Amino acid sequence: MPADPALAARVVDAGRACSLTASVLREWAEAGTPRQVEYLAGYLEAERASREASRRASLLRRCALPAPKTFDGYDWSAVSWPEGFGRADLLSLSFLEGAHDLVLMGDVGTGKTHMASALCALACSERLEARFFTASSLVMRLRRARDEGRLDHEAAQIGRARLLVVDELGFLPLDADGARLLFQVFSDAYERQSVVITTNLEFSRWGAVFGDDQMAAAVIDRVVHHGRLLQFRGESYRVRHALMQG
């Protein structure tokens, strides 16, 4: 008695995900007894699940999050959403499809970095490459790579990510050299990958970050073109939950 077609399709689907040949899989799936094909399907699905779990873990390690975060229990009360973009759009990661950007702007301690980190973890869970840097650590990484003669390679590695987070833009000052390196990252990412920027500075103050109003305007122009602004207002979560109270 031949195996059920739906069962045979499971074998082919799982086997293809493991880079096996479709024609051979289909032949064996159709030739086996239902019990044999059920066993084969279970084995291949377990192999696929194992590979996917390994891929997710590898992506999460490479993302280099300072602390793993999720959206479980996230406090959304500080977030003001732009027109046409809401929580469902964020959590679906639909903005990655068009290489659209997000700027998370507002008060310190209101959940910007948490959101950016959770987005990275969510992308990794969907087997999408994500990278997380503070603005200062990214500049230091690029400067070190340039000094060692491997800047192009480093930039290419960063450019592979579907989602690139630049956290704490404006928290620490950039010198002219660092500003140019960071500008090149934004320029390379434009219309190729999604960038999520967290900052407590309004756009009008970005000139002070880059030390050059024209460079800042060029970055803002790229980010705004395919981007959304999420504004955060409220008291710092850390202050509200601090052990040290006045």
3-class secondary structure per residue, 187-219: HHHCCCCEEEEEECCCHHHHHHHHCCHHHHHHH
What amino acid occupies position 134? Answer: T
Q: What is the pLDDT of residues 43-85, one digit of tens each?
A: 888 888 888 888 888 888 989 898 889 999 999 999 999 999 9
Determine contact, residues 65/57, Cβ cutoff 8 Å.
no
Assign 13 a pLDDT band (cuts: 50, 70, 90).
Answer: confident
Is the pTM higher than 0.75? The answer reads: yes
Assign 1 a pLDDT band (cuts: 50, 70, 90).
Answer: low
| Residue where the block lists tokens 């293809």 | 16
